[in-house]
Structure 1
Amino acid sequence: MEAAISVYEQYCEQVRHHQDERRAIANTLTVVVGALVAVAAIDQRLDKQDFPIILAFIVIGLFGAMCMVKCHGLIRFYKQMASTMALHIGGGGGSSFDVVQLEESVRISEPAFWRRIDKVRLWYLWSLFFVFVMLVGVMLLFALPTDGWILLNRYK
C-alpha cells in the first residue's frame, strides 16, 4: 500500500512540476517579446530592417503555443494517472499494481490529439527554438551597418 501511495504522490508532484514549467516558459517568453517590442520601437517605424524581429515574433509565438500545448498534455496525463492511482488505492487494489499497465491504459484512453502530442518532447522544441535564434543572429549579422569591422562585408 505504501508503494501505491508513493506512486500517487509522484504523479501529483509531476502535475505541479509541469504547471511550474509552463508558467516559467510563459514568463520567459513574455519578457523576450517585450524586449523585441522595445528593439522594434527604437526607430519608431516598421520597415525591411525589422524583418528579423517580425520573424522572431512569429516563431516565438509558435514556440510558446507548442510548449503550452505540450505542457498541458503532460499535466492532463499526470492528473489522469493520479486519479487512476487514487481510484486503485481507494478500491483496495493497493497491494499489487502494475504502473506500466495503468499508464498504458491511460494513454490508450486519451483522444488521438493528445496521443500525438505525447510523442513530442520539449527538448525538441527548445532545440528548434535555439536553432532559430542562431539563424536570426546570422541574419542580423548580415544586416548590421558596414563600418569595416565585419569580415563578411569586407569584400563588397
Structure 2
Amino acid sequence: MRALALFLAALLALPLAAQDSLPPAPYAYQQLEDPAQEAKAMALMHTLRCLKCQSQSIADSDAPMAGDMRHQVRTRIAAGEDPEAIRQWLVDRYGDYVSYEPRMTASAWPLFAIPLLLLLVAGAILWKRIGRRPEGGSGEVYDEADV
C-alpha cells in the first residue's frame, strides 16, 4: 500500500517537474539588438511586478515566470507595440497587481482615500483634546507657595 502511495505521488509530481525543466523563453535573458527598443523594454520591465516573487520587478527576478514575461515584453516591443499597450495586456491577463503603477479605478479609490480620511479624523480628535485651551479661569498665575 505504501509503495502504491509513493508511486501515485511521483506520478502526480511529474508535470510539476517538467515545468522547471523547460528552457527559458528566447528573450528572457537576451537583449534586443536595437538599443532604443531595449531601453523601452527595460523601462517597462522595471514597472512590472513578478507574480511569483512579489517583491521584485520582472527585470530583477530570476523566476521562470518573470523570464516569460520579459520575453513577452521584448517580443512585443520588437514588433513595434506601444509599452502602455503591453502593460494593459499584462494587466488584463494578470490583474492590476502586476503593475507597480496602480490605476485609479472604482474598486481602488478607497485604498487611497481611507488613509487620508483616517488622518483627518485623527487630526480632528487631537485638535479637540489638546488643541484648545481651557476656557474660564481668572488668568492669574500661581506660585507653588500659594497652593
Q: TM-score, normalised by structure 1?
A: 0.35
Which structure: greater helix fraction?
A: 1
Rg larger in structure: 2
Higher relative contact order (CA 8 A, sep 6+): 1
